[in-house]
Amino acid sequence: MLNISQQQKLLQKLSPQQIQYLELLQLPVLALEQRIKTELEVNPLLEEGQELDQEQTESNNEQTESAEVDKQSENAEEPTSQENDYSLEDFMNDDPGGYKTPYVANDEFDELPQPAQVSLVEKLRQQFGMLDLDEKELVFAEEILGNIDDDGYLHRELPGIIDDINLTYNWNISHQQAEEILRKVQRLDPTGIGSRSLQECLLVQLEMLENDSEHVRIAKTILTKLYEEFTRKHYDEIIKALGVSRDQLRSALEIIHRLNPKPGEGTIEEFNNYITPDFLVQKIEDEFVVTLNDRSVPPLRINKNYRDIISRKKRNPATSETRDFIRKKFEAAKWFINSIHQRRETMLKVMRAIIELQMDFFEHGEEHLRPMIYKDVAERIGMDISTISRVVNGKYVQTDYGVYELRYFFSESIETQSGDGISNKQVKRIIKELIEKEDPNKPLSDDKIAALVRELGIHIARRTVAKYREQMYIPVARLRRKL
């Protein structure tokens, strides 16, 4: 049985323009450049360049002088009433405002050409000539290189690589042959590349040392027979098992500590290893000036030639299909320009609010960072918290004290004895300083660190200290102990 009823619902609907604006808002400056390039490719009405005032003036004069002629042309050429409802000039009168970026001649921030770089895999491949490998072994070595991760380790199981090669080429490479090929690859430069564990990586490097002193032999014995005790820093057990003195153990450990635990690191190309800030904050006299780092973002405008195609003053006007296509592309171009302009205004507004709320930080540095959440900025500028989150996500600012991610300025508050709040980042800094000053022979436990922090008037529990310590990638006291 059918029933008719009324329901009232609250739904949030976003227009295509709003969705486009939100998408552009969360893009950092480098991603925005790529997004603009893509839009320039798909929309013929959009082009780089600034509108010329002279062209605008001439266009307005021509429109005024030919108004009566246009009116007659409209009655003759416009076939439907739908086309009479609006025209390109109606859209053009709705000025999108434009988006222009300042151009500075001989800008000191212009990027320099990057030198050619050789990847780690290519460097290793160039060394294959020294390994005396036949065709099958060379193919297998190439497969090993293809499975090495960024740290230089081979995390894929060797039997899996053997099965793939044998099935692909119908070969019969044995496990012993594969181990021998891997052993040769591990002794290339950097030594230890392609190791399957940290223990194997360190042992390969020790084996390749030309030094065969007593301390090196002790180091090999530690990594071979007492590796678990070494990782747990049970030095007394190692001394007892090997029958060596503390000085001998200390010398052996120094040799191990000089080895490279990640042979694949240090090969990151320079142009992939830097941050481009989205904001530049400078103090000029007594005022902080915020600049949006969009020098490489091109200014955009509507293509004049396409406007002329469907202009009603032309003797040979375009067909209705062409007019409709260009009108749609014009709307898309206008929305895109407006979205970029609105993105710029929103980002500047959020950054200025952050400076106002974190004035002590920008004046005096990290030690004066205060607690702040997204809600504080949202209430200050009258925007939604989700908008603040989109602006902050993945953006960086260059200050007098370095380059910081915008998320850095947002932190939880921890209560002090005076009743005021202190940023949890300040507490992390205090914990890190206490650990740096501790006795390496008797590292501070989490309970002791919590007690020392409470002596400073900050209410904190042991589990909170453990959480912050782990977030800073600082090991527990037992693993921080030094001989």
Query: Same domain for 251 and 222?
Result: yes
Query: Same domain for 248 and 282?
Result: no
Query: Same domain for 232 and 301?
Result: no
- Within a domain: 394: yes
Query: Same domain for 166 and 295?
Result: no
Query: Same domain for 349 and 443?
Result: no
136 Cβ contact list (under 8 Å, min separation 6): 169, 171, 173
Query: Same domain for 240 and 185?
Result: yes
Query: pLDDT truncated to tens, each residue of the chain (483 aa)?
Result: 678 888 888 776 777 888 888 888 889 988 999 999 999 999 888 888 765 544 454 445 445 444 443 444 444 444 443 444 444 445 445 444 444 444 444 444 455 566 667 778 888 888 887 778 888 888 999 999 889 988 889 988 999 999 999 999 999 989 999 999 999 999 998 999 999 999 999 999 999 988 888 999 999 999 999 999 999 888 989 999 999 999 999 999 999 999 999 988 765 454 455 788 999 999 988 899 999 988 888 888 888 877 776 665 555 556 778 778 888 888 888 899 999 999 999 999 999 999 999 999 999 888 888 999 999 999 999 999 999 999 999 999 999 999 999 999 998 888 888 777 888 888 999 999 999 999 988 899 999 999 999 999 999 999 999 999 999 999 999 888 887
Query: Same domain for 125 and 247?
Result: yes
What region, left, alpha or beta, does residue 285 occupy, with left being phi > 0 and alpha being psi -120 to 50 degrees?
Answer: left
Instruction: Give the C-alpha separation, 367 to 371, whole Å.
Output: 12
Helix axes 246-257, 198-207, angle to 10 degrees: 100
- Within a domain: 94: no
Examine the fold and report which residue of 373, 390, 410 is the final residue of a domain before the chain moves on: 410
Instruction: Give the C-alpha separation, 128 to 138, whole Å.
Output: 8
- Within a domain: 173: yes
- Within a domain: 338: yes
Query: Same domain for 297 and 387?
Result: yes
Give which of 458, 465, 470 is closest to 423, Cα–Cα: 458
Domain CATH code at residue 421: 1.10.10.60
Count of the separate structural domains present in the chain:
3
104 Cβ contact list (under 8 Å, min separation 6): 295
Give which of 383, 288, 390, 351 is closest to 28, Cα–Cα: 390
- Within a domain: 403: yes
Which domain, by its residues, includes 212? 120-257
Examine the fold and report which residue of 359, 393, 410 is the final residue of a domain before the chain moves on: 410
Query: Same domain for 293 and 186?
Result: no
- Within a domain: 264: no
- Within a domain: 422: yes
Examine the fold and report which residue of 230, 257, 284 is the final residue of a domain before the chain moves on: 257
Query: Same domain for 383 and 428?
Result: no
Name residue 38's beta-bridge partners. none
266, two tokens: 């240090």
